[in-house]
Structure 1
Amino acid sequence: MDSVTQPLVSVICLCYNHERFIAEALDSVLAQTYPNLEIIIMDDCSTDNSVAIIREYLQKYPQLTFLSTGTNQGNTKAFNTAWRASKGAYIIDFATDDVLLPERVAQQVAAFERLDETYGVVYSDAEYINDEGRHVRFHCQRNRAGEVISFAPSGDIFHHLLGRYFICPPTMMMKRRVFEDLQGYDETLAYEDFDFWLRSARRYKYFFLDAITTKRRLHASSLSHQLYKPGDKQLSSTVVVCEKAAKLVQTAEERSALTRRLQYEARHAYLTGHYQQAEQFLNLLRQHAGLGPVYQTLHFLNKLKVDLRFLRVLYQKLLSR
């Protein structure tokens, strides 16, 4: 099958102040063995030297498309602008501080071509690297035979996504139709992953591809590392996503998963001093499943803003030993 008959894949390369990493990131996209690529670089108004580096690539590789938000708008808005300008049957949301392995696109397209129309997302294993590009760990746990032993389900995984984290977001390839059905990411949110997972998994199946396809860079300043820290804006978005989830659940299994999620979020919001968000999670929990004695007590302590943040710090120290 030649590049004319192979499905077009749009790689949306999102950049915001990635001057240290963008060359390696773009090189990894250009090195893909899959021939039918649309590469769109979307800069979200970087304030470092990223755009100068991008312009060097544009001169060298005329097949690249460059877009700019003009003003910093955040990941969700920037990505939506780019995917709406794209044409690919499959889409990859690629941050330009990460790295794609050469067979990434080819492997995921091949997986999609084997699946039926009910599947909308393929995800895989990843290697985590630090700012210097050194290995930190792999996303999936494997036994001595190399088999994945950590949780990585395929099929209808809506209830799993409600209850726990197990997908490494930059490993996902998504059908264009999924974004069209969802009308893209929710631009009112501070982050996109949890909301996208739930809304897409309600309509489409997911497939786990047992391969390491991506290197994900870990930063101390990344959004995931800011979660539950003072001033974290992601918690308010999680409240909104949980409100949406309450309207999507259909089965007893899904209701149970949402209950666990709300309990988890309420505990962590309270134990990190985010009393307003803890109150919102507890109110959702009350409406959804009721408050048992433990969460009635938590609600009482939260109302009084009794500061027990030291308990979470102590717990994390014990885990790190």
Structure 2
Amino acid sequence: MPDSADLPIVSIVALCYNHARFLPAALDSILAQSYPRIEVILVDNASTDGSLAIMQQYAQANPTWRLLAQPRNLGLCAAFNQAYHLSRGEFLLDFATDDVLLPQRIAQQIAAFQQLPPHYGMVYSDAELIDEASQHVRFHFRRTPQGLHPQPASGYVFADVLRRYFISTPTMMMRRATLDELGGYDETLYYEDFDFWVRAARNWAFHFLDEVTTQKRVHPQAMSRRAYRPHDPHLASTIQTCRKALHLCETPDEWDALAVRVRWEMRQAIRWGSNTDAATLYKLLQQTGKLQPLDWILGQWSRLWATT
């Protein structure tokens, strides 16, 4: 490894909301990183379970760490942005403190970035899914005779991120210039990753690093577990991101990819009884110009039940 003074600074934004059970393992994994130039900003988003006291202990024991204790919950996107604007790293990690970084995580991703051209805005990798007791569940990418599933993608992946889910969010390392161009996360949204992928992938390339760099914790309190239920803000944010994508698509393949995404989201909304959102998604699907016969039937169904 080069002299540490020549290495780029990596800012870890460690976001916490009621992660007291998992915080020590998460914060210890920052301390265990082999990479020497790390800036740490801890953000407690108005936790009610004792998380703040744990973060204060770590901040006191590590004087270079900064702690932002929010008096009220700002939402994930705004809480991240506050720390991002205070950070100085050339690269950033959005680190949820129920997850765990493996010791070589940052070193491996920085090594990958250093081999890539500057138009690469994000490096992601494989992750090990663990349960509440830190026991192995599975890996994000399954190894099959046909290769990895879901199939990862590298390069300009705008159509890929519209069409399908393949990126393990906790494994992302973002180039600061990419976030700067986007103005950070969209603070009107409930969650960040799909919107970041769509907006960033329009102008920036992504790279898949075939390494397990992170342990992603799977537990009932995870936000995604509540998606698609009526009135859940997760689906509203997905719809808002799909609206943005309508204005970003440029090629027939990209329009096809957006139609695949909107169609899938509409069917999930119908499945879980979110008929008003399903009707909105049907209108978006109409705008792609890619309606199929079953889409029309489901659209009429959702419109009927949305008004009853």
Please give the range of the TM-score, normalised by the shorter of the 2 chains. Answer: over 0.9
Superposed CA deviations along residues 175-218 of structure 1, whole A, max 9, x for unmatched, are 00011000000000111111000000001000000100000001
Q: Which amino acid aligns with 2:297?
A: T
Q: Counterpart in 2 of 1:189?
A: 189
Aligned to 2:61: 60
Identical amino acids, percent of aligned pairs = 46
1:292 to partner: Cα distance: 3.3
Deviation at 1:144, TM superposition (A): 7.4
Structure 2 counterpart of 1:279: 279
Aligned to 1:315: none
Per the TM alignment, residue 74 of structure 1 is displaced from its structure 2 partner at its CA by 1.0
- Pairing 1:20–2:44 present: no
Residue 268 (structure 1) aligned with residue 278 (structure 2): no
Following superposition, which runs of at least 4 residues in structure 1 exceed 3 angstroms of deviation? 147-150
Give the aligned partner of residue 37 of structure 1. 38
Matched pairs, number: 305
Query: Whole-Å Cα distance in 2 between the matches of residues 204 and 154 of structure 1?
Result: 11
Q: Which position in structure 2 is the counterpart of 1:165?
A: 165
Shift of 1:80: 0.3
Q: Deviations over 1:56-104 (max 9, x none)?
A: 1122111211112221111100000001000000000001110000000
How far 1:162 moved relative to its partner?
A: 0.3
- Deviation, 1:142, is 1.5
TM-score (ref. length: structure 2): 0.96
Partners of 2:98 and 2:253 lie apart in 1 by: 37
CA-atom RMSD, angstroms?
A: 1.5
Q: Which residue does 1:297 correspond to in 2?
A: 297
Q: Structure 1-normalised TM-score?
A: 0.92
Structure 2: distance between partners of 1:153 and 1:303? 36
User: Does structure 2 conserve the Cα–Cα contact (< 8 Å) formed by 1:8 and 1:36?
Assistant: yes
Tell me the residue number matched to 1:312: none
Provide the C-alpha distance between the structure 1 equivalents of 2:70 and 2:52, rounded to a whole number of angstroms. Answer: 12
Per-residue CA deviations over 1:207-247 (Å, capped at 9, x if unaligned) read 00010000000111211111112432111111111110000
User: What residue is the counterpart of 1:116 in the other structure?
Assistant: 117
Q: Deviations over 1:254-288 (max 9, x none)?
A: 01101111111111112211111111111111122
Local SS of the residue matching 2:4: coil
Unaligned runs of 5+ in 2: none
CA–CA separation in structure 2 for the residues paired with 1:292 and 1:19: 48
What letter matches 2:222 in structure 1?
Answer: S
CA separation in 1, counterparts of 2:3 and 2:22? 32
3-state DSSP of counterpart to 2:5: coil
Aligned to 2:231: 231
Q: CA shift at 1:143, angstroms?
A: 4.1
* One-letter amino acid of the structure 2 residue matched with residue 243 of structure 1: R
